[in-house]
Chain A
Amino acid sequence: MSLEKTHPKEVKQILSKYPLEHKRSAVMPLLYLAQREEGFITKSAMQDIAQMLEMTETEVASIVGFYTLYHDEKAGKYRMQVCTDLPCALRGADEFLNNLCGNLGIKVGETTPDGLVTLEAVMCLAACDKAPMFQTQGPDGIKYHELMTVDRTMELIDALKQAEEK
């Protein structure tokens, strides 16, 4: 289904931000919109966006490939992205991630068996004074979780799980 049909208001609002003759600028916000549905961007969504913006499908795919927040493969419903860059690592981020792996029984890059959480290590998220920290990328967008402990993270995952069961 075309985004113009499923999200007419959002599409119109996005296109209105850019000059008519430069509607290609809308490719990034439209990709976010498409990604909301399934947590990754399908081939047909790329086709749809290419058509809307008069781009080739290859061009759209190359943009999906270039930027790390776009995904072309299914993963857990939530991507839990722990920052292990230098400043966070100086404040215990690597140990935090290790312990989290232990608690969840998965390795970095893997997904919990229930398909809820994929654990990832990422670069600086501009929260270096609040390590250990991570962001969750999911159906409701991106959220920051700062000054975290493994216990509080497990509570967060439990809450997500419960919301899921409802």
Chain B
Amino acid sequence: MSHVLLRHRDIPNINRLDVYKKNGGFAAWKKAVTKMQPNEVTGVVKDSGLRGRGGAGFPTGMKWSFIDNKNWPHYVVANADESEPGTFKDREIMEGNPFQFLEGLALGSYAVGANAAYVYLRGEFWELAAFLDEKIAEMEEAGYLGENLFGTEYSLKIYTHLGAGAYICGEETALLESLEGKRGQPRVRPPFPPSYGLYGKPTIINNVETFTNVPAILANGADWYKSMGTMDSAGVKVFSLSGRVRKPGNYELPFGTTFRQLIYEHAGGVQEGRPVKAIMPAGASSSLIVVDDKVLDTPMDYATVRTLGADLGSASVIVLDDTVDIDWVINKTIKFFKHESCGKCTPCREGNYWMKHLTSRIHSGNGSKDDVDLLLNVAKQMQGKCLCALGEFSTMAVVTGIERFPQDFKKAVKA
């Protein structure tokens, strides 16, 4: 089957404007601006069942319809912060198929009446930002961006903005603070960005992959999109597969593909033919899933993964084989979260400080059973008390690791 998002794998040089155009590029954009009302664009996206690919799976069309039309101007922001350990899909999309992403961002901007859109990239994507700047300039030259597009009243500019190394800036309100030239710390919500966003103005924020779906949906129709995937989660998803598999990488597959198909059919199985011990389906923020045959045959969509006691998140699937100790895993994840906690609220800041102490003590063999109990207690105390989801994320692997893999911790404190 040919790709919907990773089209550069089927069509060489699709990152060139002429090639993209020859393959149907910008047709949806032109049609939308010249023949459709903005709310019709939102309507098609709503009907398609597209859900946000940044982690939460929020229905995209519904989000767009929340834009406050009493307050102007409006802004649209593409979230290209991509910093969740295990996630590397947006980078491939932007490098390989940049125009489809930019066309999707433009369509989103038109749908909500924004004349300026920003792409917020993590600072490490320095070369990628320069590359996107070139692509944006080519679109301006070709008349796809700029003033009075296709002879209409509508104008749109797209700008890139580089972050500077802070995972929290992927959280949408922290991202907005950062874009405003402040420290990237989350805002208290409500109000939500569609009413109070960038510079206090109504703003729509979506993930890169979310936007990249939109041109295909407009071109082929909502029904076509819904014919892929599951009832719960329509369409295709780019799964970033990492860890102990033979062929790690991005795999674009319909929702409903099973873990087994992803790992064994597409990625060649586990290194050295070992068994899968655990899966983290949403990167370092995941709960740990204990893997057995039934789990491997579970279809991956938002609702079904939840029945395994985990979230699909941005579908950054990390595979752990039977040689991996879970106390080592959570020592790694907590090192990450301790480093990335923005420090704004006490439960997350202090909780991660203590979890870091305890996980490294346990992992280094100097811990006791009481340390494990205390660690579990600290993590559970944090849950439900943090200002943003980062605090919550930091507890997931710890709690599920200790509860679902008690033998690993027994071994760690005895040794």
Instruction: Using CB atoms and an 8 Å cutoff, list the residues of chain A in contact with chain B.
Output: 17-19, 22, 24-29, 31-32, 53, 55, 62-63, 66-70, 85-87, 89-91, 123-129, 135, 141-144
With contact pairs A127-B88, A129-B88, A129-B242 given, residues A142 and B124 touching in the complex (Cβ less than 8 Å): yes
Q: Which residues on the B side are within 8 Å of A128 (C-beta)?
A: 85-88, 240, 242, 248, 316
| 19 further A-B pairs in the complex, CB-CB below 8 A; given A70-B165, A126-B87, A141-B126 | A19-B199, A25-B161, A25-B179, A25-B181, A26-B181, A67-B165, A68-B165, A69-B123, A85-B85, A86-B333, A87-B318, A91-B244, A124-B84, A124-B87, A126-B83, A126-B90, A126-B122, A128-B88, A129-B242
List B233-251 residues whose CB lies under 8 Å from chain A: 240-244, 248-250
Indicate the member of B126, B159, B164, B339 with the most A CB atoms within 10 Å: B164
Could you show 15 A-B contacts with beta carbons less than 8 Å apart?
A63-B183, A86-B284, A87-B242, A87-B243, A124-B86, A124-B336, A126-B82, A126-B122, A126-B124, A129-B241, A129-B249, A129-B250, A141-B126, A141-B127, A142-B127
Contact of A123 among B88, B167, B179, B181 (CB under 8 A): B167
Complex alpha-carbon distance, A7 and B180, angstroms: 22
In the complex, B182 has a CB within 8 A of chain A: yes
| A134 CB, nearest partner CB in chain B, Å | 11
Q: Which residues on the A side are within 8 Å of B184 (C-beta)?
A: 66-67
In the complex, B163 has a CB within 8 A of chain A: yes
Complex alpha-carbon distance, A17 and B316, angstroms: 33
CB closest chain-B residue, reference A127: B88
> Is the CB–CB distance between B163 and A17 below 8 Å?
no
Complex alpha-carbon distance, A89 and B336, angstroms: 12
The 4 closest A-B pairs by CB, nearest first: A67-B164, A68-B165, A24-B181, A129-B248
Q: Which residues on the B side are within 8 Å of A135 (C-beta)?
A: 124
In the complex, B324 has a CB within 8 A of chain A: yes
Q: Which residues on the A side are within 8 Å of B207 (C-beta)?
A: none
> Is the CB–CB distance between A86 and B249 below 8 Å?
no
Complex alpha-carbon distance, A31 and B125, angstroms: 16
In the complex, B332 has a CB within 8 A of chain A: yes
With contact pairs A29-B162, A67-B123, A69-B164 given, residues A91 and B248 touching in the complex (Cβ less than 8 Å): yes
Q: Which residues on the A side are within 8 Å of B162 (C-beta)?
A: 28-29, 32
In the complex, B226 has a CB within 8 A of chain A: no
* Count class of interface residues, chain B: 35 or more
CB closest chain-A residue, reference B178: A28
| A79 CB, nearest partner CB in chain B, Å | 11
Indicate the member of B88, B123, B125, B181 with the most A CB atoms within 10 Å: B181
> Is the CB–CB distance between A125 and B284 below 8 Å?
no
Contact of A85 among B240, B249, B336 (CB under 8 A): B336
With contact pairs A90-B244, A129-B242 given, residues A67 and B163 touching in the complex (Cβ less than 8 Å): yes
CB closest chain-B residue, reference A90: B243
| A39 CB, nearest partner CB in chain B, Å | 15
Q: Which residues on the B side are within 8 Å of A66 (C-beta)?
A: 166, 183-184
> Is the CB–CB distance between A70 and B164 below 8 Å?
yes
Q: Which residues on the A side are within 8 Å of B126 (C-beta)?
A: 141-142
> Is the CB–CB distance between B242 and A90 below 8 Å?
yes
Complex alpha-carbon distance, A25 and B241, angstroms: 35
| A138 CB, nearest partner CB in chain B, Å | 11
In the complex, B91 has a CB within 8 A of chain A: yes
> Is the CB–CB distance between B164 and A22 below 8 Å?
no
In the complex, B340 has a CB within 8 A of chain A: yes
| B263 CB, nearest partner CB in chain A, Å | 14
Complex alpha-carbon distance, A124 and B123, angstroms: 12
CB closest chain-B residue, reference A13: B133
In the complex, B76 has a CB within 8 A of chain A: no
In the complex, B156 has a CB within 8 A of chain A: no
CB closest chain-B residue, reference A70: B164
0 or 1 for each of B81-101: is its CB under 8 Å from A? (1 = yes): 011111110110000000000
Q: Which residues on the B side are within 8 Å of A25 (C-beta)?
A: 161, 179-181
| A80 CB, nearest partner CB in chain B, Å | 14
Q: Which residues on the A side are within 8 Å of B181 (C-beta)?
A: 22, 24-28, 53, 55, 63
In the complex, B329 has a CB within 8 A of chain A: yes
Q: Which residues on the A side are within 8 Å of B320 (C-beta)?
A: 90
| B114 CB, nearest partner CB in chain A, Å | 13
Q: Which residues on the B side are within 8 Å of A63 (C-beta)?
A: 181-183
List B152-188 residues whose CB lies under 8 Å from chain A: 159, 161-167, 178-184
| B72 CB, nearest partner CB in chain A, Å | 13
CB closest chain-B residue, reference A53: B181
With contact pairs A90-B324, A123-B85 given, residues A22 and B199 touching in the complex (Cβ less than 8 Å): yes
| A110 CB, nearest partner CB in chain B, Å | 20
Q: Which residues on the A side are within 8 Å of B318 (C-beta)?
A: 86-87, 90
> Is the CB–CB distance between B161 and A17 below 8 Å?
yes
| B414 CB, nearest partner CB in chain A, Å | 24
List B306-323 residues whose CB lies under 8 Å from chain A: 316, 318, 320
Complex alpha-carbon distance, A143 and B318, angstroms: 25
| B314 CB, nearest partner CB in chain A, Å | 11
With contact pairs A67-B164, A85-B284, A123-B340 given, residues A22 and B123 touching in the complex (Cβ less than 8 Å): no
Contact of A28 among B82, B164, B199, B244 (CB under 8 A): B164
